[in-house]
Amino acid sequence: MCSMPGLQLILAATLLAVPLTPAVAQTVASATARHASPPNIVIIFADDLGYGDLGVYGHPLIKTPRLDRLAAEGLKLTSFYASAPVCSASRYSLLTGRYAIRAGINGALMPESKGGLGADETTVADILKSAGYRTGMVGKWHLGNKPGFFPTEHGFDSYFGLLYSNDMIRPWVQTDVPMRLYRGTQELPGEVDNAALTERYTEEALAFIRENKSRPFFLYFAHSMPHVPLGVPPRFAGKSANGRYGDVIEMIDWSAGQVLDALRDAGVEGNTLVIFTSDNGPWMDMPPRMLVEPRIVRTDAGSAGPLRGSKGTSWEGGTRVPFLARWPGHIPAGAVGTDLARTLDILPTIAGIVGAPLPAGRAIDGQDIRAFLEGRAPSPDEWFFYYDSGGRLEGVRDRRWKLHLTFPEKAEPAVALFDLSVDPSERWDVAAEHPEIVARLNERMRQFAAEVAR
């Protein structure tokens, strides 16, 4: 990440150069006192949102003014990775700081799946609840839908949402399990209105903020969209220049603005860390089973921008996703970070912020990146391992280079090397020119696979 001069911290430099007036001194003192208390933490997690889907990441048609403003008031990362290119595995890592392969969660759990997030796992919510936080989740869980696997059994004081993806009903998934919303562990009656889902989630998130503004709180707000089938109410329909998909993204932008306004109105905006990111890349290669009727069409998928590949793949477009963060007084406004960072880092970073120990006796793959987010140091992350949607290890990157394996049927893996510092689109294979880098990265992959297998 850029050094402090590179971040253009003009305001900070000005305050240091000019004597503080009594009014300014009082404001600074108030801000310092406010930040001495534990910060509230809000994570907004989109589903299948691509690297190129937001205005601040270069989309030419979709308007996202509130998320663009969030970036302007905080930090945008350009090399941030979800840990897996598919739902359940990615969400496992967000909450535990561990690659999902360690728990045998390799893809997306289905309505009939008997497993989920194990009772022996420690989540971000567990850590924050033990630190005195009120913890709430709204939205898509996708880490088990049987007793023992519910969010309220993994550190969350409250839950409202869907237990898995909103497409897991007929005709797209051959299941007889009805899709229902849940509050806590209780199934709510009635069919799910897909068009009303984002608004309903948003209402629940705002209520949680209002009810807990006088104490430290953690809100995990996991949207069901832009995962298909897309749904928007009439007031959002037809508004975007990018069709139905654009309508959904602009509604998510509206929802983020509602959350940010609620933090301001509650008087806690200045002491709240807000993170916005996605679980994986866009589903641009939907299988035929998803296109059996017009409620889902190919243009209902987003954009990976300049990146190759999409959801389900180990190309950059499968796992490199938007990441925005704002924490006034800590994260410099308008910062852009290019260093490697991962959803795996969120648990150790939050644990570091609240002074909580990491879970004992567990391999934690993430690192505390607070100093990086605050512009005080480079990211400590050195490695990222790429898995496909079935849990097969297909690549590794360090701070510059990516080794990628392709597995043709009945043939030896094809090895490619990309210099991500100049080729994030993975267009030019330079393996032949750098055999020593190929060997080094291949050995690191072998070591990690052996570690996970132990």
pLDDT over 70 at 24, yes or no: no
Q: How confident is the model at residue 37 (pLDDT cuts 50, 70, 90)?
A: confident
* Strand 341-342 with 134-139, pairing: unpaired
As a whole number, mean pLDDT of residues 332-349 equals: 98
CA atoms of 396 and 417, how far apart (whole Å): 10
Report which residue type is found at 313.
Answer: T
Q: Is 315 helix (H, G, I), strand (E, B) or coil?
A: coil
Instruction: Please say whether the beta carbons of 236 and 250 come within 8 A.
Output: yes
Can you give 296-313 as a three-state secondary structure string?
A: CCHHHCCCCCCCCCCCCC
Question: Each residue of 57-105: pLDDT tens digit?
Answer: 999 999 999 999 999 999 999 999 999 999 999 999 999 999 999 999 9
CB 72 within 8 A of CB 247: no
* Structure confidence at residue 36 (pLDDT): 62
Q: Give the start-to-end residue ranges of the domains of the chain.
A: 36-381, 392-453
Q: List Cβ neighbours of 28 (8 Å cut-off, separation of 6 or more).
A: 15, 20
Q: Could you give the residue numbers annotated as active site?
A: 87, 142
Q: Which helix (H) or strand (E) holds 158?
A: strand 158-162
Residue 344: count of CB within 10 angstroms of its CB:
25
On the 0-12 / 13-18 / 19+ scale of CB atoms within 10 A, 75 is buried
pLDDT tens digits, residue range 244-291? 999 999 999 999 999 999 999 999 999 999 999 999 999 999 999 999
Q: Closest Cα to residue 248, out of 235, 263, 230?
A: 230
Number of H helices, E strands in the chain: 11, 16
In angstroms, rounded to a whole number, what is the distance separating the alpha carbons of residues 71 and 170?
39
Q: What is the 3-state secondary structure (H, E, C) of 171-187?
A: CCCCCCCCCCEEECCEE
Partners of 158 in beta bridges: 136
Percent of the chain scored above 70 by pLDDT? 92
CATH topology of domain 392-453: Arylsulfatase, C-terminal domain (3.30.1120)
Q: What are phi and psi of 94, to 5 degrees?
A: -55, -45
Say how far apart CA 435 and CA 227 lie, in whole Å: 40
Q: The domain 36-381: what is its CATH number?
A: 3.40.720.10
Encoded amino acid at 122, one letter? T
- Give the CA count within 13 Å in the CB-facing half-sphere of 391: 16
Omega before 151 within 30 of 0, i.e. cis: no
Band of the pLDDT at 14, cuts 50, 70, 90? very low
- What pTM value is reported for the model? 0.92
Q: Are strands 401-406 and 181-183 parallel, antiparallel or unpaired?
A: unpaired
Pairing verdict, β 341-342 and 384-387: unpaired
61-63-65 Cα angle (round to 5): 155
Cα→Cα distances 41→253, 259, 307, 354, 403, Å: 19, 12, 30, 10, 35
Distance CA(193)–CA(349), nearest Å, equals 36
Q: Give the phi and the psi of residue 277 in degrees, each rounded to 5.
A: -160, -170
